[in-house]
Each structure stands twice: as C-alpha cells, then as structure tokens.
Amino acid sequence: MTLVIRSYRKDDQSAVSNLFVDTVQAIPLSDYTQDQLDAWAPKDSVGGIDWDKRIHPGNGYVILLKDRLAAFGTIDQNGYLDFLYVHPKHQRQKLATYLFTRMELEAEELKLAKIYTYASITAKPFFEKMGFRTIRENWIERNGVRFMNWYMEKKM
C-alpha cells in the first residue's frame, strides 16, 4: 500500500476535521461516555475546533494511504503535541508511531528538552510505549461536559 507522510497543507483541513470526528466517535465507551465523545468532537460542527488556529503547515503532519487521509498529528516549537489521531480503520498499523517518530526528529532538530501532551485514556498506552511518563491526571471542560486525560511528557 502506498504510504505518504508529509507536512499538513491547508487543503487537508476538511479531511482532517472529518477524520477527527470519525476517530473520536469510534473511541470505546469503556474509556469515555457518549456525552463526553459528543462534547470532544461534535458531529455537526467539524469537531467544533478552530482548525486554522490549531493546525497549519508549520506544525502538522499527515499520513495518506492510497491518497486518502489516514492519520494526522501536530507538534509546536515548544514540544507541545496537541493532536494525534489515526482513523479507526488503520489503528494498530504503526501509523501513530510513524507520525510520532517524525515529530521526535523535529524536536531533536530544535534541541527541545521534552515533548508533552494531554493524552486521552485511549492514547495513554501508546504514549507509554513511545517512552512518555505519566505526570498527573488532568480534567478539562468542553462544551459544558467534564472529562479527564493524562498530562504526559517525554524528556529528550
């Protein structure tokens, strides 16, 4: 299968927002309730995210499989990893590992001291596998619904 990993482009935005909603909505209900998933990624408003603010060619990477978006992620110049989402059809095929490896390379080039993220319950085992430490539980409120994630970091 042809796999392309490249920087995010503005014309990826609609595919990225659709993948975000599809991926969050497929998260097991053992991790988050349906109300929490709906608040995290509302189906009717492209995820309710200001995409122009959160992902741009300077901070985002995408993976395409046969020309279709399969995964995306962002990391900023301070080492903050905001998004990492792999379409449910393509999970456990190492796509997040490829994206994270690319991000880690960038962090090394920038001589950053650490990469940090607020990992979902679902993503915690992945970040542990990548060498992150769990620092603390974190609670957020989105669209009036409270839910928890984990503040995690990896020293470089």
The number of CA neighbours under 13 Å toward the Cβ of 146 is 2
By C-beta, is 59 or 120 nearer to ligand COA?
A: 120
Positions in 24-43 near ligand COA (CB under 6 A): 27
Please identify which residue in 16, 37, 75, 86 interacts with ligand COA, judged by CB under 6 A. 86
Report the distance separating Cα 154 and Cα 156, nearest Å: 6
Cβ atoms of 113 and 79 within 8 Å: the answer is yes
Please identify which residue in 8, 32, 85, 132 interacts with ligand COA, judged by CB under 6 A. 85
Query: What letter represents residue 121's amino acid?
Result: I
92 interacts with ligand COA by CB under 6 A: yes
Site string for ligand COA, 111-140 (x = CB under 6 A): --------xx-xx-xx--x-----------
23 interacts with ligand COA by CB under 6 A: yes
Report the distance separating Cα 150 and Cα 153, nearest Å: 10
In sequence order, the 6+-apart residues with CB closer than 8 A to the CB of 45 are none
Stretches 9-17, 51-59, 87-95, 137-145: which one binds ligand COA (CB under 6 A)?
A: 87-95
Q: Residue 129 CB, nearest distance to ligand COA (Å)?
A: 4
Measured in whole angstroms, the distance separating CA 152 from the mean position of its chain's CA atoms is 14
Overall size of the chain counted in residues: 156
Question: CA Rg, the chain, in Å?
Answer: 15
Cβ atoms of 72 and 61 within 8 Å: the answer is yes
89 interacts with ligand COA by CB under 6 A: no
Size of the site for ligand COA (CB under 6 A): 19
**In the complex, which residues of this chain contact ligand COA (CB under 6 A)?**
23, 27, 84-86, 91-97, 119-120, 122-123, 125-126, 129
